[in-house]
Structure 1
Amino acid sequence: MSDIATALNGASFDGLVQVEELRAQGMITLRGDFSDSGLVKTITDLAEVALPGQRGAVMDGTRGLLWMSPDELLLLCTYAEAPFLLGKLEAALAGYHALAVNVSDARACFTLQGAATREVLAKLAPVDMSPESFGAGQVRRTRLAQVAAAFWLTGEEGAQIVCFRSVGEYMFNLLKTAAAPGSDVGFL
């Protein structure tokens, strides 16, 4: 997959945390009435992960489902399988009032890795990043500075961020600034 062009071609930065653009992440937006148990079963069977609760993230290997709003989920998968999974979803969702769209090429994804991950995010997002309020298995759809984004913790020292590809370079620069050496504020 090294030939897949991303917003920043895999740019990275080492500071308080390692900031790295993910290469070629598969993403499918799903819209529908998730109170419909048939729709939920269809999606979770094909996604091979459980339905997340409100503001939840359920990850299992390369697959994940993220709660984005009461009627929207984001399905994560490998970039290569996104078109095939989309085809299966479209066929399985026939008859449901639902929508599935491959948004892989319309998004930029970044990872943060390091002990100051919560601090870097806290500088940019109006979210309580304390471990008591935000932990693994939760997702926030908010703004990082002025950029619409979603993020979730991948562990105690890691996070993943998704934003529109058109603001990918701006997001990377925001993350670099927030992770600049010597910029720690002692959040935790």
Structure 2
Amino acid sequence: MNNVNNKKRRFKKRWWTDELTVKWNQVCLAERQYLHCTKINSNTYLRQIYVSKRKEFDKLVQQSKRQYWHSCQEELVNLNKNDPRQFWRKIGNIGIGNERQSKIPNEVLRSDGSVTNNMDDVLQKWKDSFHGLLNSNPDNNKNYGVKKLIVKNDIVCNDLDAYISFDEVYKVAMAAKNGKSPGVDCIQAELCKNYSYFNFN
């Protein structure tokens, strides 16, 4: 069988194997024989062969995927223990495919000042830190935001504090797109463009 048709598939899918290529070619051949058969008796038999080949191929695909993902998981676990830099590179390649340029330390600072890279301690430290941030008790911290808020009234911005002219409003209204949903005031953009109907006295 010619394997040229499966060249792209093998490169795109890392779990693809040569055995899958052979099975896929068998499925394609069985399908062609079934579709081009004109005899009724042979057609039923060829359809059974085609369905059987397709089931074998699907089963082998699922098995190959499971083996591939299991090997990836094992590789990540081993890299996490032996080489944290390579571990984070692999994690980066899963999402965006770019390798990390700097090392991400897999360690935390304990309360006594010592540094640990034990995975259980790291995860517990992260959990404690983020749990306190995301699940703060509002009853105990009612005035927390008010106490930390610093209001600066002496900020001067002439562009924002200047008088809004009619020409400025006119330019914005003319630049608005037609057919869009109105805001909370329920005024359509088309109505704003017909400013001649309004009395600006």
Fold in common (TM above 0.5)? no
Could you state the TM-score of these two structures normalised by the residue count of structure 2? 0.20
Structure with more contact order per residue of length (Cα contacts < 8 Å, sep ≥ 6): 1
Q: Whose Rg is larger?
A: 2
Could you state the TM-score of these two structures normalised by the residue count of structure 1? 0.21
In proportion to residue count, which structure has more helix?
2
In proportion to residue count, which structure has more strand?
1
